[in-house]
Amino acid sequence: MKKSQKICILLFFLPTFIYGQYHNELGFFNGMSYYLGDLNPSKQFAMSRFVYGGMYRFSIDEHKSLRINGYYGSVEADDAVIGYNENRNLHFRSIIGEISIQGEINFLPFNPGDSYTIHTPYIFGGIGGFKFNPQAKCNDGLWHDLQPLKTEGQNEPYDLYAASYIFGIGYKFHISKYFTGSLEWGMRRTSTDYLDDVSNSYANPDNFDSELAYQLSDRSLENRGQNTNKMRGNPYRKDWYSFAGFILTFKLPSWGEWECYPWYD
């Protein structure tokens, strides 16, 4: 990281070090996840799946806050459903387990639990790490892990851990003295092109160690087995995934405020 970037980050979060945390919140996320990549280049929310998770937010001031998130969901795509390259006839599904840190900027002043700051749109950005594991269904009707099969003839299996670069928009609103709601949509550009197990060209069928690897490598409706070195995916474009949904947060009291909470005796 360049020195100028480090200085900008320090200046952004300097009030936290000087004044301490303004508010702390614990929250839960429920929503949808979907994927963009070689099997789905552009259709937003196509073949969405359920995602859930938790987050911890601490405010720096009325306009800035920092979040730590843990999300778990899945993504999937199918050439037959998306219709981008139906003859290729590939499909996949994958779990997504993500841990990330994000910064938020509110367009309007907002304090959790304050009825005078009732709502605000916001933007956010950050970085995360995630675990994935693409699978496909074979003729036996079972789902098989694709990474160990090296379906594009790789010398070594690709890594199942990758980074995600996060940005998005949201809208948060006051519910009560203790609860805040948020609607948000976040995009993740990943550091991998194998979220879907598709990246480069078809391998020579003679180079596969098993019939299963060959079956899951080339499922073309036409010219199956005759596609060696033809493009199977786009190696110049990394895969993306997205989480969109609702967050409910609970404002945590400071140590001196516990006795003011109604359930504290």
The pLDDT score that the predictor gives to residue 13 is: 45
Place 255 in a pLDDT band, splitting at 50, 70 and 90: low
- Position 141 scores a pLDDT of 87
Average pLDDT of the residues in 113-118 = 86
Whole-number Å distance between alpha carbons of 57 and 53: 13
Query: What integer pLDDT is reported at residue 9 of this predicted model?
Result: 47
Instruction: Give start and end residues of each alpha helix (H) in the chain.
Output: 3-19, 79-82, 211-217
CA 105 – CA 15 distance, rounded (Å): 14
Q: In this structure, is residue 124 part of a structural domain?
A: yes
State the pTM of this model: 0.85
- Quickly state the pLDDT bin for 2 (edges 50, 70, 90): low
C-alpha–C-alpha distance, residues 28 and 45, integer Å: 21
What is the pLDDT averaged over residues 237-264? 78
Distance CA 148, CA 229 (A): 20
In a domain, residue 31? The reply is: yes
Q: Is residue 121 part of a domain?
A: yes
- What pLDDT is recorded for position 20? 45
218, 205 in Cβ contact below 8 A? yes
167 within domain boundaries? yes
Give CA 47 to chain center in angstroms: 15
In-domain check, residue 118: yes
Predicted local confidence at residue 72, as pLDDT: 98
Domain count, the chain: 1
Q: In this structure, is residue 145 part of a structural domain?
A: yes
Mean confidence (pLDDT) of the chain: 89
8 A C-beta contact, residue 212 and residue 149: yes
Q: How many CA atoms lie within 13 A of 149 on its CB side?
A: 25
Q: For residue 248, which amino acid is it? A: L
Tell me: the pLDDT tens digits for 122-144?
999 999 999 999 999 998 889 99
Residue 55 domain flag: yes
In a domain, 8, yes or no: no
Distance of CA 89 to the CA centre of its chain: 25
What residues have CB less than 8 Å from 86, skipping those under 6 apart? Answer: 79, 80, 221
Express each pLDDT in 14-58 by its tens digit: 444 444 446 799 999 999 999 999 999 999 999 999 999 999 999
What CATH number corresponds to the domain at position 43? 2.40.160.20
Residue 47 lies in domain? 17-260
